Amino acid sequence: MDLFSSEKIKNILPFDGVTNYHGIVLNNEQCNFYYNELMQKIKWKNDEAIIFGKRIITKRKVAWYGESEYSYTYSKVTKKANIWIPELLELKAIVEKESNENYNSCLLNLYHSGDEGMAYHSDGEKMMKKDGAIASLSLGAERKFSFKHKKNKQRVDVILERGSLLVMKEGTQTNWLHRLPPTRKVNSPRINLTFRTIEL
Ligand SMILES: O=C(O)CCC(=O)C(=O)O
Ligand SMILES: [Fe+2]
């Protein structure tokens, strides 16, 4: 983060957490380039999860990447990571510079249209660095993203623009849930990358 860009960075949570919206960090050309590369090169798979004891397959596609083929447990199902590809390392470098943090893994989500989303949750898996930053980079369609306070249920919405960066930091996962609500207004795909630190 440099002195001049810090003006546009703001904490969107009113209390009990820091989540900084950095605005657009990739130009139009970079957005098109990485969107197309990731669509083709990522090993997209439908996600499996156990919800209320039942195994479900999501319409949304996902992929985990990192420096080794570590196993990780997410939504109660254990999966194996893929090794970084050059395009992801380039994006990781951009995000690390902008957020002034380091990451060792990335979860990618592909929402084919507005009828795919993600329900309220927080990202506090055992393997994740406690209260570590999670940097969320968005490509493709713009979507609304919502936070809900775990105790008083206060809500905060933010529009995640194409090429934008949102960094969830201290307090966010402990005190707030977040979701990507489904919407009828969007009928084109969105790719989201969340860079994280996993303790291996
Ligand atoms: O798609 C998004 O913007 C958020 C995804 C998310 O919350 C997650 O992968 O944990
Ligand atoms: Fe999340």
Q: Is the CB of 62 under 6 A from ligand 1?
A: no
Residue with tokens 């199902």: 77
Q: Which atom of ligand 1 is nearest to the CA of 109?
A: 1
Centroid of ligand 2 to alpha carbon of 124 (angstroms): 9
Task: Verify whether ligand 1 is closer than 6 Å to residue 161 (CB atom).
Answer: no
pTM: 0.94
CA 83 centroid distance within chain = 18
Sequence-ordered list of residues with C-beta below 8 angstroms from that of 48, at least 6 positions apart, any chain: 55, 56, 57, 58, 75, 77, 79
Assign domain 10-196 one CATH number from 2.40.128.130, 1.20.1440.130, 3.40.50.2300, 2.60.120.590.
2.60.120.590
Q: CB 106: neighbour CB atoms within 10 A?
A: 25
Are the C-beta atoms of residues 59 and 112 closer than 8 Å to each other?
yes
Tens-digit pLDDT string for the chain (200 aa): 445 555 678 999 999 999 999 999 999 999 999 999 999 999 999 988 888 889 889 899 999 999 998 888 777 778 889 999 999 999 999 999 999 999 999 999 999 999 999 999 999 877 888 889 999 999 999 999 999 999 999 999 999 999 999 999 999 999 999 999 999 999 999 999 999 999 87
State residue 169 phi and psi, 5-degree precision.
Answer: -125, -155
State whether ipTM is beyond 0.85: yes
Ligand 1 pocket residue status of 123, Cβ below 6 Å: yes
Domain range list for the chain:
10-196
